[in-house]
Amino acid sequence: MNLSRPKSLLIGASGQIGSQMLRALGRERCLVTSRKSSSDTELVLDLATLATLADVEHIFDGYSIDAIYCLAGLTNVECCEDVPELAHNTNCRGPELLAQFAKARNLPLVYFSTEYIFDGNHGPYNEEDTANPLNVYGKSKWEGERAVLAACSRAVILRTTVVYGQDFGEKNYIYSLMRSLGAGKPMRVPEDQISTPTYNRDLAKAAIALVERGATGIFHVCGPERMDRLEFARSVAAFLGLDVNLLQGLPTSALGQKAPRPLSAGLSIAKLTRLHPDLTMRTASEGLADCHSDLEDFLRSCATLT
């Protein structure tokens, strides 16, 4: 396929951030990828498979690209503990090869990373704080950050956390909460994991703006409020009129999770605010208000199935 007009390459466009980027950029301005092609407008690309190739240039022959957004990754924290090699290939080696391609074509590349590169001992963290990941997922992302920065001078590392909002895949934390509480079922929530919830539409818009402004280096892009997961869950439940009493706060140690989690974490957006004060990251209440009708639609669909 020969696409004469440059498009933004979205690796992982089917995820919640990718769908919001498609919405912000416009579908006609994007070249999207999928692990298995579902249409002639998609490019088949899997980061883990990409990691095994000696040369990735041929994959993009005939495509005119103006920016690369690497949104995809192996983000299941528990799964990463079981398959560390796959986590490394997906979260580090594959993105590194993309960064090498970006350098060869003089393209900007955004690599989406996570607060899980930190140990959670003294958050909120800024961009210069020392990484010390506690689990395989965090380690693979930290290695990915360093590999991408070393390979491409126009790279942007975008760290974020606890992303919420409208999700066409209906997979994010809020959708799990709505399924459980909407069905009258209790939900266990860690009460000691502190973070900075991030509205996905703001995250997508910030990523696009940073590329358009020629930014490089590391940026923390997340919500402005630091709260624990139970507090966040309660605010979502109350906003949607769900039974807050169904939320069961427990210490992380009681949840039986294989991978250790950073507890006192969260990210500081002081750098983003200082350099780009117009890129406003909304509070949880503001973000929920913005996507309220979408969430209500999902709740109604759940009700019709029960």
Interval 65-112: pLDDT, tens = 999 999 999 999 999 999 999 999 999 999 999 999 999 999 999 999
Burial profile 172-185: b = 16 or more Cβ within 10 angstroms, e = fewer:
bbbbebbebbbeee
Amino acid of residue 6: P
Query: Quick check: 299 pLDDT over 60?
Result: yes
- Per-residue pLDDT reduced to its tens digit, 241-292: 999 999 999 999 999 999 999 999 999 999 999 999 999 999 999 999 999 9
Mean pLDDT of the chain: 92
Unique residue bearing structure tokens 């209500």: 296
What is the C-alpha separation between 175 and 165, in angstroms, rounded?
Answer: 9
Question: Residue ranges of the domains in the chain?
Answer: 3-171+195-226+263-284
| Domain 3-171+195-226+263-284, CATH number (from 3.90.1170.40, 3.30.565.10, 3.40.50.300, 3.40.50.720) | 3.40.50.720
- Per-residue pLDDT reduced to its tens digit, 46-71: 898 888 887 788 888 888 999 999 99
Query: Which residues participate in catalysis according to the annotation?
Result: 137
pLDDT band of 38, cuts 50, 70, 90: low
- Per-residue pLDDT reduced to its tens digit, 148-188: 999 999 999 999 999 999 988 888 899 999 999 999 999 99
Label residue 217 left, alpha or beta by phi (over 0 means left) and psi (-120 to 50 means alpha).
Answer: left
What is the C-alpha separation between 217 and 206, in angstroms, rounded?
Answer: 14
Query: Quick check: 141 pLDDT over 70?
Result: yes
- Per-residue pLDDT reduced to its tens digit, 207-228: 999 999 999 999 999 999 999 9
